[in-house]
Amino acid sequence: MTRIKSVRTRVWNWTGPTVPPQGHFCTNASDALWTKGDAMSSFRFHQWLTCEVETEDGTIGIGNAALAPSVVKKAIDEWYAPLVIGEDPFDYAYLWEKMYRTTHAWGRKGVGMTAISAIDIAIWDLMGKLVGKPVFKLLGGRTKEKIPVYYSKLYADSVEVMQKEAQEAQKNGYLAYKTRFGFGPKDGMPGMRENIKRVEALREVLGYDVDLMLECYMGWNLDYAKRMLPKLAKFEPRWLEEPVIADDVEGYKQLSAMNIIPISGGEHEYSVIGCKDLIEQKAVSVLQYDTNRVGGITAAQKINAIAEAHQIPVIPHAGQMHNYHLTMANTNCPISEYFPVFDVEVGNELFYYIFEGDPEAKDGYLQLDDNLPGLGISITDKHSQHFEIFE
């Protein structure tokens, strides 16, 4: 048996070039504030955290977190790392409970659970490497010949720019696309018309034989969403994502009960019990936990079982290997979100610059290697000139 020897955290601060953001490129929870200035600032993040868990034999498992990296780093360094050092990584379920219960008073949601997630993902990578198997083979194995992905970008812009992007994306044969709304309650009726105009324009280009998903990123409220649902129905969206803030579970329930468009969410929910509540309360038709936040792969697998029993599909938030492995190993995860490789914009592209090994989608699908141990990623120094790194 080899035991965990150390936990190394690094914050990667992107200092390289970024694409300047458009106004109204995506609604978000800060839109409700009266503050003027950069309403998109809370949406962008140009920092990432890597978490490397090493065993006595020198094997290193890699986890990561994109939420408040410098704060999560402190939480891991001071609280969570000492809880797992000296332990057997194969006791992963016990280690998860140890981290969860020891910090329950303050850590069960938000920063604490993000720290747990980063360590847990690293432990799964480590276990895969120690037994020489890809993580999905430890989770149930291959349930798909290959993983269908949906193109996740199409931030709100002018109609022409969005149509052009959709046309470009179509060349890669995706069967599903997700776009972001640019307007919310503050923008009144003219904003509603702008939102609808863009969905209509995308359907014009993409047709109706592919899925189109609509993302609000918590930038609407219940009243606004209730008024929008009937107007959007004719465009046959696959789902409407996070129409209201994550805490407004009652809002999700009411919108789901309208039964006009499937409501998705869970990207900002935490833990097994938090996701169980969303499912049992019929708040969402599609669950989109983020493995980086929800408690890592250990929690995600438990949630997958609950969701499957309720026949609620799980489509984890974001691309990234930990989500692909879960999707490969679960019949109830039909498709993966996929961020196309782009210049650094909002920040969710950064993992392409920190890690090597993420598969690129081809003809609307991606593939995992049956023989690559662990998650199949490594940390690269290819772009190190564009990062400030804090240990």
Closest residue to Mg ion using C-beta atoms: 267
For the bound state, the minimum distance from the C-beta of residue 265 to Mg ion, rounded and expressed in Å, comes to 8
Q: Which residues of 316-333 are buried (b: 16+ CB within 10 A; e: fewer)?
A: bbbbbbbbbbbbbbbebb
Q: Which residue lies nearer to Mg ion by CB, 214 or 361? A: 214
For the bound state, the minimum distance from the C-beta of residue 215 to Mg ion, rounded and expressed in Å, comes to 5
For the bound state, the minimum distance from the C-beta of residue 152 to Mg ion, rounded and expressed in Å, comes to 8
- Burial class of 282 by CB neighbour count within 10 A (0 to 12, 13 to 18, 19+): middle
Subset of residues 255 to 274 that bind Mg ion, contact rule: CB under 5 A: 267
- Residue 121's identity, in one-letter code, is I
For the bound state, the minimum distance from the C-beta of residue 389 to Mg ion, rounded and expressed in Å, comes to 28
Total binding residues for Mg ion by CB under 5 A?
A: 1
Which residues are CB-neighbours of 358 under 8 A, at least 6 positions away? 319, 320, 321, 351, 352, 377
Q: What does the alpha-carbon distance between residue 66 and residue 292 come to, in Å, rounded to a whole number?
A: 7
User: x/- string (CB under 5 A) for Mg ion, residues 172-211?
Assistant: ----------------------------------------
User: x/- string (CB under 5 A) for Mg ion, residues 8-37?
Assistant: ------------------------------
Q: Which residue lies nearer to Mg ion by CB, 75 or 162? A: 162
Q: What does the alpha-carbon distance between residue 356 and residue 369 come to, in Å, rounded to a whole number?
A: 14
Contacts 24+ apart (CB under 8 A), 98-106: 100/271, 100/295, 103/79
Q: Which residue lies nearer to Mg ion by CB, 120 or 269? A: 269
Q: What does the alpha-carbon distance between residue 205 and residue 367 come to, in Å, rounded to a whole number?
A: 28
Q: Which residue lies nearer to Mg ion by CB, 267 or 358? A: 267
For the bound state, the minimum distance from the C-beta of residue 55 to Mg ion, rounded and expressed in Å, comes to 35
For the bound state, the minimum distance from the C-beta of residue 238 to Mg ion, rounded and expressed in Å, comes to 13
Q: Which residue lies nearer to Mg ion by CB, 120 or 267? A: 267
Q: Which residue lies nearer to Mg ion by CB, 99 or 307? A: 307
Q: Which residue lies nearer to Mg ion by CB, 123 or 300? A: 300
For the bound state, the minimum distance from the C-beta of residue 367 to Mg ion, rounded and expressed in Å, comes to 24
Q: Which residue lies nearer to Mg ion by CB, 267 or 269? A: 267
Q: Which residue lies nearer to Mg ion by CB, 267 or 349? A: 267
Q: Which residue lies nearer to Mg ion by CB, 248 or 267? A: 267
For the bound state, the minimum distance from the C-beta of residue 43 to Mg ion, rounded and expressed in Å, comes to 11
For the bound state, the minimum distance from the C-beta of residue 42 to Mg ion, rounded and expressed in Å, comes to 14
For the bound state, the minimum distance from the C-beta of residue 218 to Mg ion, rounded and expressed in Å, comes to 9
- Give the interface with Mg ion as residue ranges (CB under 5 A): 267
